[in-house]
Structure 1
Amino acid sequence: MAIKPNKFVKSIVPEEWKKVLQAVASEFGDIVDVEELEVIPLKGAMTNEVYQINWSTKDDDVSRKVLLRVYGDGVDIFFNRDDEIKTFECLSKHGQGPLLLGRFANGRVEEFIHARTLSANDLRDPEISALIAAKMREFHKLDIPGPKNVVLWNRMRNWISEAKSLCSLKDAKEFRLDTLEDEINMLEKELSHDYQEIGFCHNDLQYGNIMMDEDSRAITLIDYEYASYNPLAYDLANHFCEMAANYHSDKPHILDYSLYPDLEERQRFARVYLSCSGNEPSDREVEQLVNEAEKFTLANHLFWGLWGIISGYVNKIDFDYMEYARQRFQQYWLRKPALLGSSGDSPL
């Protein structure tokens, strides 16, 4: 998730890391004293611990940089790690994202991307937003091996089972876990259409997973843990919802839905997105995509609401997952009547 540099530290590097980093350094042709590695924690991650690792090369003026990612506790509930690594490697071959340099039991070493991680405010910049829209369209067109079935609905059903197995009776009642499968079944029926475009979606396109080269303005999408085939409108919905978040604020779990993009912003994003296929979209096509994405925000709120509940029980990172989940479910019940024309009084 989102990261920012912390102060430099010297740290005792675990032996498992040392072996992998030594092998990575050797691949670069570097001779490294693993006791002298520079370790810089990168802050703001919500599921993983992330470090920048530096070492000197034969050319004393050049420092090698790699990124080391330690997987968070309990995250295997959310996705299959082996599948995620296969996706990571496949995307690298497609020229997307960083290269995989090495693996250890609970993490990996990646190429360090020399680009700036976007901020929350960047998502509102019309120029940067257009670049993201174009990159998203390119990403959605990738042909990733494996079944091309929609993953969203069954993934959430599995998460309901996990949440029920973890939750206290109080939390289960508060979040109405017994009713959520009916909600998911209803959404699947309401939002599934024959004309719907299915493609390979990132599914977590918040600002911290988007990097930009300041010189070339090239956009790179990172962190594919939740990537899968889904309705393309769902990915747009996810990105729009993420504009309410600032994971580097004093209260990173608080969502400000006054920052949700207005209709003009969403239309502009959708128009750029659709035009990347080579034809100028009609107003009707733009309107249809915007409306479809707006309805998929409901699925997005349930998805990340369930993620928040489970994470509150299994993840030790300093983040108020339960309050985050509470806000996502509040938005679900608040927006459901307007978007689907059905009753949805909020219990929260």
Structure 2
Amino acid sequence: MVAIENQSQAVQAQVQRAAEAARIPKEARRLLHELAAAWPNVADCRALEVVPLKGAMTNEVYQVRWLTAPAAAAGGEKEKEALKEREIRKVLVRIYGDGVELFFDREDELRTFECMSRHGQGPRLLGRFPNGRVEEFIHARTLSAADLRDPEISALVATKLREFHNLDMPGPKHVLLWDRLKNWLKTAKNLCPTDQANELRLDCLEDEIATLEKEFSGDYHHWIGFCHNDLQYGNIMIDEETNMLTIIDYEYASFNPVAYDIANHFCEMAADYHSEKPHVLDYSKYPDIDEQRRFVKTYLSTSAGEEPEAEEVQNLLQSIDKYTLASHLVWGLWGIISDHVNDIDFDYKEYARQRFEQYWQKKPVVLTS
């Protein structure tokens, strides 16, 4: 009886693997076979295993892996160990989500990806297919929601983010935030039925965006850097042997006020995209003032380890607090648009509602403080 159950489980697992492999487009599979065939240690270039990676909400992301041939050994016990320790060759396959052209220009994003790779900041591009690409698989652990609350990891993120903001990236250095908000609002209005637009108060948002842009026009708020704009925990990886961080996924990256990028990172601490209800946000997890100050002091510290002036820390903290409002509007609009164009299993509409709710709750407090 046990043997029959084991056989049944093996068949089910084989069917599951075949189903996952079928989700990879034909053009991508051809590219994967060519890549694997060029690697001398891959045992069988067509014997690939596909593992979906959770937490992505713009694209579908998969780990694809192959068994490598066992390393040569001198015989006896060494040979047995080599057979047991067959390595796995891995790559990452990114299949672009539906409707992404409404959010960003894919060619611009790819140029950013390639430039980041040249800077040694992210994975290498291994190949492209019509609706996606194959990337180097980084041998590091993706952070969890809980990791962002760890003071040591948070300090690493702050230091890495300052390095990211200082990257000398090509192209115009102007702020994208306000144009993005205005364009996404137009798109959301075009996609939304009237009742939903009324429920989410979309008709008010043009004036809200204009008010924020005017309110944030002071010199300090215009400390501009190359911003990630989507620094949630799933876009940060850590090598646990070296404690080196890698920031990945640059779809939304652009020049923006650095206070906005930090504000967006703080807002992401309310999310756990690997929970049973990944769209539900818990703003009790937004970092308290001590956590915020620790992050900002680390961010502003010089490479020589000198601490920043208290006034500089306070100014940036105030800017960050204001830019949380812009973050809520950006991702609220993103949620509305995604709800109409994306088939990924995520409750975009409810996510958008929560972001807008936070905007209206925080606005009177933030703008009068």
TM bucket, shorter chain: over 0.9
Indicate the residue corresponding to 2:319 in structure 1: 292
Amino acid at match of 2:344: I
> Secondary structure, in 3 states, of the residue corresponding to 1:338?
helix
Q: Which amino acid in 2 is paired with 1:121?
A: A
Partner of 1:190: 215
Aligned to 2:94: 69
Q: Say whether 1:256 aligns with 2:267.
A: no
- CA displacement, residues 111-141 of structure 1 (integer Å, 9 cap, x when unaligned): 0011111110100000000000000000000
Deviations for 1:289-320, whole angstroms, at most 9, x for unmatched residues?
11100100000000000000101111111111
Unmatched segments (≥5 aa) in structure 1: 1-6, 343-348
Instruction: After TM superposition, give the deviation of residue 62 of structure 1 in Å.
Output: 2.7
| Structure 1 residue corresponding to 2:225, chosen from 175, 186, 199 | 199
Following TM superposition, by how much is the alpha carbon of 1:277 offset from its aligned partner in structure 2, in angstroms?
4.9
2:38 and 2:165 mapped to 1: Cα distance?
A: 32
SS in 2 for 1:43: coil
Match of 1:111 among 112, 133, 136: 136
RMSD: 1.6
Q: Which segment is superposed worse, 39-48 or 23-32?
A: 23-32
The alpha carbon displacement at 1:40 in A equals 1.1
The alpha-carbon deviation at position 74 of structure 1 amounts to: 0.9
- Note if 1:25 corresponds to 2:36: yes
Taking a change above 3 Å as real, the CA distance of residues 309 and 261 of structure 1, as seen in their structure-2 partners, is same
Identical columns (%): 64
Which of these residues, 218, 229, 232, is aligned with residue 258 of structure 2? 232
SS at match of 1:55: strand
Deviation, structure 1 residue 262: 0.4
Q: CA deviation at 1:341?
A: 2.2
Could you tell me which of 210, 214, 236 is aligned with 2:240? 214
Displacement over 4 Å in runs of 4+:
29-34
Instruction: Tell me, in whole angstroms, the C-alpha distance in 2 between the residues paired with 1:164 and 1:107.
Output: 28
1:311 to 338, 344, 354: 338
Contact 2:44–2:67 at 8 Å: present in 1 too?
no
Look up the match of 1:153. Answer: 178
2:338 matched to 1:327? no
Partner of 2:268: 242
Q: Distance in 1 between matches of 2:96 and 2:41?
A: 26
Deviation, structure 1 residue 21: 1.1
Note the C-alpha offset of 1:47: 1.6
| Distance (Å, rounded) in 2 between the aligned partners of 1:63 and 1:31 | 8
Give the CA deviation at 1:31: 6.0
Residue identity in the other structure for 2:232: Q
Question: What SS does the corresponding residue of 1:36 show, helix, strand or coil?
Answer: coil
* Residue of structure 1 in register with 2:4 after alignment: none
1:346 matched residue in structure 2: none
8 Å contact kept, 2:259–2:316: yes
Q: Distance in 2 between matches of 1:238 and 1:276?
A: 23
Q: Distance in 2 between matches of 1:178 and 1:27?
A: 55
Of residues 11-20 and 24-33 in structure 1, the stretch that sits farther from structure 2 once superposed is 24-33
Number of aligned residues? 336
SS of the equivalent of 1:9 reads helix
Could you tell me how far apart the structure 2 residues matched to 1:203 and 1:32 are?
40
Matching residue's letter, 1:215: E
Structure with more helix by fraction = 2
Gaps of 5+ in 2: 1-12, 72-85
Larger Rg: 2
Deviations 1:200-236 (A, max 9, x none): 0000000010111111011110110000000000000
Aligned partners of 1:302 and 1:332 also within 8 Å: yes
1:29 CA displacement:
4.4
1:98–1:111 contact (8 Å) kept in structure 2:
yes
Does the aligned pair in 1 maintain the 2:237–2:247 contact within 8 Å?
yes
The farther-off stretch of 9-18 and 27-36 is: 27-36
The corresponding residue for 1:282 is 309
